[in-house]
Amino acid sequence: MSCKLKAIVAVCDDWGIGRAGDMVVANRADMRHFVRCTKGRTVIMGRKTLESFPGGSPLKDRRNIVLTRDASFAREGVEVVHSVDEALAAVAGEEEAWVIGGAEVYRQLLPACSEAVVTKNHCMREADAYFPNLDEDPAWRVASTDGGYVIEPGEGDAGVAYEFVTYEQASARAEDDDSLAGAVAAAALVDVVFDGFL
């Protein structure tokens, strides 16, 4: 069985993604894009990202897999896993699954992703959580860009320009149809150490 693993993230110009447990740019069009991509699919997230959702509740109409090291953690509507390998094994039978953050989880699962769907909000915000800069990583290349948008009044941080950029990972392209075992191996190499729309 092979599972196409993809990351989805919204970044600022310095690849900042969050501050004090929250997102840093309000962009409702991006939220709709996020829902379009992930609805009906499986999402993998860190426990802190789950806590950032309203009421700490899982995303509706999606299979929610949450990573935590807390053996006693339980939340209604959530499948709990305790390691990257366990997360990858949980999606092995899926056609596609989405890594939705946050920083710690992106860092560990990105090597197993074949694609990263990045909303680039062209602004700077104070941040304490970052996504790896894919423009500086030779393993990744831009596959497509859909740009020229501006956040409209009433849709969040009005006036901020943004674009959707899809990156592909070279190694994943080469392995395209490989089983998830390859992804598990890649992940093992790493240092394992919203509002109404959601």
Residues found near ligand NAP in the complex (CB under 6 A): 9-10, 17-19, 21-23, 45-49, 52, 67-70, 73, 82-84, 100-105, 108, 129, 192
Q: Which residues neighbour 98 within 8 Å (Cβ) at sequence distance 6 or greater? A: 5, 6, 7, 8, 37, 38, 41, 42, 43, 44
Q: Nearest approach, Cβ of 142 to ligand NAP (angstroms)? A: 18
In terms of CB distance, is 77 or 176 closer to ligand NAP? 77
In terms of CB distance, is 145 or 173 closer to ligand NAP? 145
Six-digit token string for 163: 């674009």
Q: Nearest approach, Cβ of 48 to ligand NAP (angstroms)? A: 3
In terms of CB distance, is 67 or 113 closer to ligand NAP? 67
In terms of CB distance, is 19 or 60 closer to ligand NAP? 19
Among all chains, which residue has been given the structure tokens 């394992």? 192
Q: Nearest approach, Cβ of 177 to ligand NAP (angstroms)? A: 27
Q: Nearest approach, Cβ of 93 to ligand NAP (angstroms)? A: 21
Would you give the end-to-end CA distance of the chain in angstroms?
29
Q: What is the DSSP string of 120-134?
A: EE-S----SEE---G
SS3 state at 27: strand
Six-digit token string for 33: 């894009």
